[in-house]
């Protein structure tokens, strides 16, 4: 089964709709089939942006990720948005 590795980034930023509120944003920031490149990029991103939360995932290609037991996601609580 072909797989791809990805890095997700979660952070808190001001809302575009209401600048007085914060929102949690989760973004896919890097994708590669090469695990070593992903690990290098993850280390680089964590060093450059210590206030962001990064996660590495390996997922199969051509599958509905919601059908898996666990799929790429980051939980951001209301307390994180303060």
Q: Is the distance from CB of 13 to CB of 19 less than 8 angstroms?
A: no
pLDDT at 20: 85
Q: Is the distance from CB of 46 to CB of 25 less than 8 angstroms?
A: no
Q: E-strand spans in the chain?
A: 3-14, 22-32, 53-60
Q: Is the distance from CB of 45 to CB of 55 less than 8 angstroms?
A: no
pLDDT at 4: 95
Backbone angles phi, psi at 67, to 5 degrees: -85, -10
Query: pLDDT tens across 8-60, in order?
Result: 998 888 888 988 888 888 999 999 999 999 999 999 999 999 989 999 999 99
pLDDT at 79: 78
pLDDT at 13: 86
First to last CA, the chain: 42
């Amino acid at each position: 089964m072909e797989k791809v590795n990805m890095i997700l980034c979660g952070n808190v930023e001001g809302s575009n709709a209401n600048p007085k509120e914060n929102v949690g944003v989760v973004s896919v920031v890097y994708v590669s089939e090469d695990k070593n490149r992903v690990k290098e990029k993850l280390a680089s991103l964590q060093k450059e942006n210590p206030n962001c939360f990064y996660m590495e995932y390996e997922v199969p290609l051509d599958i509905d990720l919601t059908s898996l037991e666990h799929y790429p996601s980051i939980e951001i609580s209301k307390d994180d948005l303060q």
